[in-house]
A and B are shown apart, each in its own frame.
Chain A
């Protein structure tokens, strides 16, 4: 039996939901619009919504004044690097726990999750001092290592919940048909595991890109990714709204687009499979 919905009800829902949706999205929209204004237009009284002369000068200036793309590149290296390194460590572990579960597999998984509960500030001092003496402060490598470790439990958990959904019987069948271990992995398991791995990678890149505790505390001018670079706009001189907006728009655009594609996986990944 289909639910009867009157057109009126539908229209009411639509108007209400769109109004709230646009309100929530407004700060982002406003930032994007402001990035195309001149600094004077950005703080005009009354505020200008669309009737301004669109300009790209802020984007040019942000790059010229502060070498924006170096920080963008740092973000790319750090988020991709930590994700790939995490994947290399996590895939075998998740694979083994999903396909050869032992008596203690569950305990190991829970313990891994518990490392995620360690508040970063609880280990700030030793990590900072260790990095200082190892020369890892303000380096891409240092951040790749830290972000790999803090996100490793999430990667393992996500991969585990995906791998567990691959039916074991398929392996048995392939083995019966005389598949070698290598053939089993390449032709049977890999194709089934790729979608789950892709979502894991996507979610992890988002988390690493936006991580703002370690990136702020362990970097200075050289290895600062966008999170730390944008923070430098908190002590401004003169007019800067339009430039802040341009820098922000470029910083959030790639992740916003990726995030929209991974909504479903986000729920699963961030709740450790508790809500699907």
Chain B
């Protein structure tokens, strides 16, 4: 039973965390919004005059912006499609009885623990390199022309690399959800004459709905901010072909030192992420009540 005394103590115990997170959220956020309204470039020291919406106008009408929005959506959508469909299929397979299931699980999960810079560089050099990469050897072996993945299909290549990193996450969560499915329900359906397809679409898939939603929403949060993979493979190029919103804001801020435009881009990124976040919070909020 909570007493007056213990309530006060509880508040005291929670407050450091709350204050730190509040500071972490509000101070930089306020500064970003403030900077976004100034003409502020680190290469041109001056008095940083207030310019209203100018930075936003510049950022939003820059052709690089529409390219970045398209690339961001393609990256998020492409990776989600591959990892969710792949994760369901792989989960179904791993849920079957087999020999060495534990070891296969370990193999499948491994890419998730590889740091982004390592996985991007390993794929870039040792697989996708048009001269020395394994794919080039494979093409040669099959009598095909080697393909310069990161130059000719940069976005698709990055989608491939990022999917490799996230497929384990989707698989692991969907497999966990599948294992909580009541076996007797499936057996009863089987005895009633439901075929494998019907069992999948009417029993397994509805059971997975919640896990799929969680996978989609959590991955979306992370995928909107993909950065290291782009930095070490293509630097956003060629041109803007693989620049996403995160990379564009980084380039404005820390490569072109345009604090004002970079901040305006940061605000745009926050707005975009918030639209996604609203859905995620609703989902997890429901779980808290359950």
Same complex origin of A and B? yes
Asked if A212 and B283 sit within 8 Å, CB to CB, the answer is no
Asked if B118 and A230 sit within 8 Å, CB to CB, the answer is yes
Asked if B228 and A231 sit within 8 Å, CB to CB, the answer is yes
Asked if B110 and A25 sit within 8 Å, CB to CB, the answer is yes
Asked if B227 and A263 sit within 8 Å, CB to CB, the answer is no
Residue contacts A-B, CB under 8 angstroms, 16 given: A9-B96, A17-B93, A108-B14, A112-B17, A120-B246, A121-B266, A125-B259, A126-B32, A210-B116, A248-B122, A252-B114, A252-B118, A263-B109, A272-B287, A274-B214, A276-B176
Mark interface residues in A220-260 (1 if CB within 8 Å of B CB, else 0): 00000011101101101000010011001001100110111
Asked if A92 and B13 sit within 8 Å, CB to CB, the answer is yes
Asked if B227 and A271 sit within 8 Å, CB to CB, the answer is no
For A30, give its contact among B124, B126, B285 (CB under 8 Å).
B126
Asked if B98 and A14 sit within 8 Å, CB to CB, the answer is yes
Closest to B221 in A: A117
Q: Which B positions have Cβ atoms within 8 angstroms of A?
A: 2, 6-7, 9-11, 13-14, 16-18, 20-21, 24-25, 27-29, 31-32, 35, 90, 93-94, 96-101, 103-119, 121-127, 132, 134, 137, 141, 164, 167-169, 172-173, 176-177, 183, 187, 210-211, 214, 218, 221, 224-225, 227-228, 231-233, 245-246, 249-250, 253-254, 259, 262-263, 265-267, 269-270, 272-274, 276-277, 280-281, 283-285, 287-288
What's the Cα separation between A130 and B7 when bound, in Å?
36
Report A-chain residues with C-beta under 8 Å of the C-beta of B276.
117
Asked if A156 and B164 sit within 8 Å, CB to CB, the answer is no
Closest to A271 in B: B214
Query: Told that A5-B97, A125-B35 touch, could you supply 17 new A-B pairs with CB distance under 8 A?
Result: A14-B99, A21-B108, A27-B123, A92-B13, A93-B14, A97-B14, A110-B284, A117-B276, A122-B269, A149-B24, A227-B116, A231-B117, A245-B126, A259-B112, A274-B283, A274-B284, A276-B176
Say if the beta carbon of A124 comes within 8 Å of chain B: yes
**Stretch of A40-48, A60-68, A187-195 that contacts chain B:** A40-48
Q: Which 7 A-B pairs have the closest CB atoms?
A: A126-B31, A117-B277, A212-B228, A92-B13, A123-B28, A96-B10, A21-B107
Report B-chain residues with C-beta under 8 Å of the C-beta of A231.
117, 121, 228, 231-232
Say if the beta carbon of A77 comes within 8 Å of chain B: no
Closest to A168 in B: B1
Closest to B6 in A: A100
Report B-chain residues with C-beta under 8 Å of the C-beta of A116.
221
* B contact patch SS: helix
Which of B263, B266, B272 has the most chain A CB within a 10 Å cutoff? B266
Asked if B17 and A17 sit within 8 Å, CB to CB, the answer is no
Say if the beta carbon of A136 comes within 8 Å of chain B: no
Say if the beta carbon of A152 comes within 8 Å of chain B: yes
CB distance from A142 to the nearest CB of B (A): 14
Asked if B108 and A20 sit within 8 Å, CB to CB, the answer is yes
Report A-chain residues with C-beta under 8 Å of the C-beta of B113.
206, 210, 252, 255-256, 258-260
For B249, give its contact among A124, A129, A226 (CB under 8 Å).
A124
What's the Cα separation between A125 and B115 when bound, in Å?
24
Closest to B140 in A: A45
Report B-chain residues with C-beta under 8 Å of the C-beta of A252.
113-115, 118
Say if the beta carbon of A8 comes within 8 Å of chain B: no
CB distance from B121 to the nearest CB of A (A): 6
Asked if A24 and B259 sit within 8 Å, CB to CB, the answer is no
What's the Cα separation between A104 and B49 when bound, in Å?
42
Asked if B28 and A216 sit within 8 Å, CB to CB, the answer is no
Contact A275 B211, CB 8 Å, known A93-B16, A96-B9, A123-B28 = yes
Contact A113 B111, CB 8 Å, known A27-B122, A231-B228 = no
Report A-chain residues with C-beta under 8 Å of the C-beta of B266.
119, 121-125
For B14, give its contact among A28, A96, A271 (CB under 8 Å).
A96
What's the Cα separation between A223 and B169 when bound, in Å?
30
Asked if A260 and B109 sit within 8 Å, CB to CB, the answer is yes
Asked if A212 and B218 sit within 8 Å, CB to CB, the answer is no
Asked if A20 and B110 sit within 8 Å, CB to CB, the answer is no
Closest to B260 in A: A125
Closest to A149 in B: B24
Contact A275 B21, CB 8 Å, known A96-B10, A226-B115 = no
Which of A9, A252, A258 has the most chain B CB within a 10 Å cutoff? A252
Which of A95, A127, A234, A276 has the most chain B CB within a 10 Å cutoff? A234
Asked if A27 and B32 sit within 8 Å, CB to CB, the answer is no
Asked if A102 and B246 sit within 8 Å, CB to CB, the answer is no
What's the Cα separation between A89 and B35 when bound, in Å?
31
Report A-chain residues with C-beta under 8 Å of the C-beta of B18.
93, 108, 112
Report B-chain residues with C-beta under 8 Å of the C-beta of A114.
277, 281
For B231, give its contact among A20, A34, A216 (CB under 8 Å).
A216
Asked if B119 and A27 sit within 8 Å, CB to CB, the answer is yes
Asked if B94 and A17 sit within 8 Å, CB to CB, the answer is yes
CB distance from B194 to the nearest CB of A (A): 15
Asked if B233 and A234 sit within 8 Å, CB to CB, the answer is yes
What's the Cα separation between A105 and B227 when bound, in Å?
34
Asked if A126 and B27 sit within 8 Å, CB to CB, the answer is yes
Report A-chain residues with C-beta under 8 Å of the C-beta of B107.
21-22, 24-25
Say if the beta carbon of A143 comes within 8 Å of chain B: no
